[in-house]
């Protein structure tokens, strides 16, 4: 079976109708990224059995209970959305068991799964894995150096999350890049306690996700077990951190996300990695009069050769230009001067290049002012 390109083909069955995947909301064949919007319990059954090398899952923690926490020095609600509300211990566990079973089906025989969570959910995940016959390999403690304080002062400050690493079943022969992990640990065996900073401002420049993981955490996971060109699946993609890590480390990626707002955030982050625009400006002895100071060479100008003038400026030229970047051809395939994005799209669709798939559109705006 080929790699990520085969994700989405129906599986032949004699007795039951074949579930079919919805069209991906984003597909980048060049970098092998495919993203679907929907419930993972509905999409996973349509993915071919035994085609995924590694799964990273950051499922709901069921923490949205109308409580409070501290964020950036302020008291804020812990509520993240309806998707994070607890439905009771038994219902929560059945949900964990259901999506884990669906993930287990799509894993290759020697594939592995990594699942992150706090104490509110990780014990259920571990028990469900044992029920389903996964092979438990490690439990990683991710230590956050600067955790938010505990406002009630009745508990220890929560400073860790647990990540369970497991093989598909007890017969699995998992991949582990021991030498690389030892090298990253300074020549010593890497321990199961990882101190990694939370996402920084740069990772959140397109928006914030309430449970966003740092890229460094996903990079370590991807360096530990899968190889370049392996397929990585994320059933709860969220802000797309796993996609960003896969893109940088040349792993193929398939992501599932049900919430539209998080899907938009993930796509913005991915586009930010795929499209880079560099502007260079050079000036050769051009007087722009930036400070509005002129030399008065007229007769009888007084003692000073300089004369302060008004810095009122006048707009003399404005131009909006739109550049269309191709999905398959990573270059500008069409450009047009237009007043709006809608107008630019209309001109593109009526052009001879309208059949080219577009990844993104970049707008530049030039304004020229003259000092009066």
pLDDT in tens, 99-131: 999 999 999 999 999 999 998 899 999 999 999
Comparing 73-87, 96-110, 132-146, 246-260, the range with the smallest average pLDDT is: 73-87
Query: How many Å apart are CA 137 and CA 343, to the nearest integer?
Result: 56
Higher local confidence (pLDDT), 135 or 276: 135
Pairing between β-strand 26-28 and β-strand 33-37 as defined by DSSP bridges: antiparallel
Q: What does the pLDDT look like over 200-210, one tens digit per residue?
A: 888 988 887 77
> What is the 3 state secondary structure string of 68-105?
EEEECCEEEECCCCHHHCCCCHHHHHHHHHHHHHHHHH
Contact 124, 86 (CB under 8 A): no
CATH topology for 21-274 is Rossmann fold (3.40.50)
Q: What does the pLDDT look like over 304-317, one tens digit per residue?
A: 443 444 456 788 88
Range list for CATH 3.40.50.150 in the chain: 21-274
Q: What does the pLDDT look like over 218-236, one tens digit per residue?
A: 999 999 998 999 999 999 9
Confidence at 167, pLDDT banded by 50, 70, 90:
very high
For CA atoms 71, 77, 81, 82, the dihedral sign is: positive
Contact 265, 206 (CB under 8 A): yes
For residue 12, the model assigns a pLDDT of: 41
Q: What does the pLDDT look like over 68-99, one tens digit per residue?
A: 444 555 554 444 556 556 788 899 999 999 99
Q: State how far Cα 60 lies from the chain centre.
A: 17
- Concatenated DSSP letters for 118-145? -TTTHHHHHHHHHHHT-EEEEEEEEE-S
| Closest to 151 in 3D by CA, of 78, 236, 49 | 78
Query: How many Å apart are CA 211 and CA 58, to the nearest integer?
Result: 8
Per-residue pLDDT at 287 exceeds 60: no
Per-residue pLDDT at 11 exceeds 90: no
For residue 112, the model assigns a pLDDT of: 98
Dig out the tokens for 200 from the structure: 């920084």
CA angle 244, 246, 252 (to 5 degrees): 130
- Is the pTM higher than 0.85? The answer reads no
Which one of 310-314, 325-329, 365-369 scores highest in mean pLDDT?
A: 365-369
């Amino acid at each position: 079976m080929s790699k990520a390109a085969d994700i989405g083909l129906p599986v032949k069955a004699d007795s039951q109708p074949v579930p079919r995947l919805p069209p991906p909301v984003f597909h980048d064949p060049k970098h092998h990224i495919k993203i679907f919007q929907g419930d993972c319990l509905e999409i996973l059954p349509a993915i071919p059995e035994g085609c995924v090398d590694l799964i990273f899952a950051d499922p709901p923690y069921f923490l949205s209970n109308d409580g409070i926490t501290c964020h950036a020095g302020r008291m804020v609600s812990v509520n993240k959305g309806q998707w994070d509300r607890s439905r009771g211990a038994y219902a929560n566990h059945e949900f964990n068991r259901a999506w884990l079973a669906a993930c287990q089906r799509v894993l290759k025989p020697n594939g592995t799964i990594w699942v992150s969570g706090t104490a509110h959910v990780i014990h259920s995940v571990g028990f469900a894995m044992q029920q389903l016959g996964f092979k438990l390999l490690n439990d990683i403690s991710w230590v956050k150096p600067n955790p938010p304080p505990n406002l009630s002062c009745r508990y220890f400050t929560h400073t860790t999350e647990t990540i369970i690493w497991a093989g598909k079943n007890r017969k699995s022969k998992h991949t582990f890049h021991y030498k690389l992990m030892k090298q990253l640990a300074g020549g010593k065996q890497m321990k199961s306690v990882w101190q990694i900073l939370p996402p920084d401002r740069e990772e959140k420049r397109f928006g914030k996700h309430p449970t966003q993981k740092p890229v460094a955490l996903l990079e370590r996971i991807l360096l530990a077990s899968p190889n370049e060109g392996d397929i990585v699946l994320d059933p709860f993609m969220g802000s797309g951190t796993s996609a960003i890590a896969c893109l940088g480390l040349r792993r193929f990626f398939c992501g599932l996300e049900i919430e539209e707002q998080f899907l938009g955030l993930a796509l913005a982050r991915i586009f930010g990695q795929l499209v880079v625009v560099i502007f260079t400006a050079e000036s050769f002895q051009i007087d722009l009069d930036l400070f509005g100071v002129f030399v008065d060479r007229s007769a009888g100008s007084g003692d000073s050769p300089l004369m302060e003038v008004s810095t009122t400026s006048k707009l003399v030229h404005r131009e909006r230009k739109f550049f269309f970047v191709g999905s398959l051809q990573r270059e500008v395939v069409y450009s047009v001067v237009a007043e709006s994005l809608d107008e630019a799209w209309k001109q593109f669709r009526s052009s001879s290049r309208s059949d080219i798939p577009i990844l993104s559109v970049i707008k530049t705006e030039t304004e020229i002012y003259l000092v009066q």
